[in-house]
Amino acid sequence: MDQERLYALLAREMAGELTAEEANTLQQLLQQYPDASYIREVFAQNWVPAGKQYGPSQVQQLLEKHQLRLQAASLPEETPVTDIAPPRKVWKLYTAIAASLLVLVSLGAWFLRQRPAQKPAPLAQLVTAKRMRSQILLPDGSRVWLNAGSKLDYPEQFAPHSPREVHLEGEAFFIVAADAERPFRVYTKAFRVHVLGTSFNVRAYPLEDSAVASLVQGAVEVILNNDSKQVVALRPNEKLTIPVHPVTTEATTAAPIPTMAALQKSKLTLVQDSIIPETAWVQNKLAFKHLELEKVVVMLEEWYGVKIDFRNNNKRKLYFTGVFETESLEQVLNAMENTQSFTWEKDNTGKIWIR
């Protein structure tokens, strides 16, 4: 019976449930059964799963996969076209407008176009108007959120064994489905991005003086469209800002030739919680961190579809940080005005002036 007692005490010792009194009893029993100390030592060893095992690198992969799933779960539900930030009171009015725009956009979206050269694969195009955003699932399972006033060209079917290529004008957030055989490439005027499986944001509006690639997860390479074809590798939570000559309405030939010196690689930083300003738009949030008022104003113009200008140019370089979700333009401007650093007014054409 002493043996039964020994097993019970070895079990409790392993579970960390041994009392001081039981520890004494165990010591005595171990002297009685010297071979039991070997068994005791075996139980004290580090054991490993006999079947499937996850090593540190697999755990890292699990974490990355989980982060993508978390991100996808935190994003708004899939809707073909979303209307941005209309205050809830006038919802009905906007439904009518949204419905008619939806028809227009869908006509544009599924408009097929033959590519001039080699590839016969039919192209599809998704276009978003100002104040509109859209989300699509590409044929390979990759998901794309297209921000306002943007255009994405993609083939209806990606060819097997060759890179998956899409062309972007404007801003989009990508969660790319992994496929080692077919790397994913995003082409813009200023650069192209090579991807394996990852999530990242590309901002390349033709009227802006810089193009930005921001990486949230995975790894991408950004290849500039200048003579040097310079390659810049991005790591998670880094962004690359490339100065370009904005395309003016008259001169469409102005080629974007960034100089290496002006390239700027920086870290993505959180505004609050888990909100990264570069990708907040995907979650229907307007976010900016330590940003000059003149740039905030451009975001507000896009977001609310209004015109904003400065009466007092000194105010352009004021810095602001903020996150907004359902607030109206007036609420946003009032909140910023509360810092006592500027005032704003609306003229009778609806244009907003900052002074």
Partner 1 sequence: MRKDEQIKSLFQRVCCDDNIQAYNELYIALCTRLIHFSASIVSSFHLAEEIVSDVFIALWQKRNDLLHVENPVVYLYVSTKNLSLNTLQQQKRHQHHALDHINPDMLSIAPEAENGMVSAEVSQKIERAIRSLPARCQVIFRLIKQDRLSYREVATLLNISSKTVDAQLTIAVKKISQAIRFDLSDEVAQTFLRIDS
Binding segment toward partner 1, per CB under 8 A, in 40-48, 109-117, 127-135, 184-192: 40-48
Binding segment toward partner 1, per CB under 8 A, in 56-64, 90-98, 190-198, 337-345: 56-64
Which of 70, 90, 159, 262 lies at the binding interface for partner 1 (CB under 8 A)?
Answer: 70
Kindly state whether residue 62 participates in binding partner 1, applying the rule CB under 8 A.
yes
Q: Which residue bears the tokens 């790397």?
A: 183
Which of 1, 38, 160, 267 lies at the binding interface for partner 1 (CB under 8 A)?
Answer: 38
Kindly state whether residue 339 participates in binding partner 1, applying the rule CB under 8 A.
no
Kindly state whether residue 63 participates in binding partner 1, applying the rule CB under 8 A.
yes
Binding segment toward partner 1, per CB under 8 A, in 39-47, 241-249, 287-295, 340-348: 39-47
Query: Which one, 73 or 251, has the nearer CB to partner 1?
Result: 73
Which of 37, 79, 269, 341 lies at the binding interface for partner 1 (CB under 8 A)?
Answer: 37
For residues 235-263, one letter each, b for 16 or more C-beta atoms within 10 angstroms of the residue's C-beta and e for the rest, the string is ebbbbbbbbbeebeeeeeeeebebeeeee
Residue partners of 211: CB distance under 8 A and separation at least 6 = 188, 189, 190, 191, 202, 203, 204, 241, 242, 244, 256
Residues numbered 261 to 300 that lie near partner 1 (CB under 8 A) are 273-274
Kindly state whether residue 1 participates in binding partner 1, applying the rule CB under 8 A.
no
Kindly state whether residue 48 participates in binding partner 1, applying the rule CB under 8 A.
yes
Q: Which bin fits 350, alpha (ψ -120 to 50), beta or left (φ > 0)?
A: left
Rounded to a whole number of angstroms, the minimum distance from the CB of residue 34 to partner 1 is: 6
Binding segment toward partner 1, per CB under 8 A, in 42-50, 106-114, 241-249, 308-316: 42-50
- DSSP track, 232-280: EEE-TTEEEEEE-PPPPSS-TT------GGG-EEEE---SBTTB-GGGG
Kindly state whether residue 2 participates in binding partner 1, applying the rule CB under 8 A.
no
Rounded CA separation 79/77 (Å): 6
CA angle (291 as vertex; 226, 282 as ends), nearest 5: 75
- 3 state DSSP class of 196: coil
How many residues touch partner 1 under the rule CB under 8 A: the total is 41
Query: Which one, 65 or 311, has the nearer CB to partner 1?
Result: 65
Query: Which one, 36 or 308, has the nearer CB to partner 1?
Result: 36
* Amino acid (1-letter code) at residue 106: S
Kindly state whether residue 31 participates in binding partner 1, applying the rule CB under 8 A.
no
Q: Which bin fits 108, alpha (ψ -120 to 50), beta or left (φ > 0)?
A: alpha
Q: Are 142 and 177 in contact (CB under 8 A)?
A: yes
Residues that bind partner 1 (CB under 8 A): 4, 7-8, 10-12, 14-17, 34-39, 41-43, 45-52, 54, 59-60, 62-63, 65-67, 69-70, 73-74, 273-274
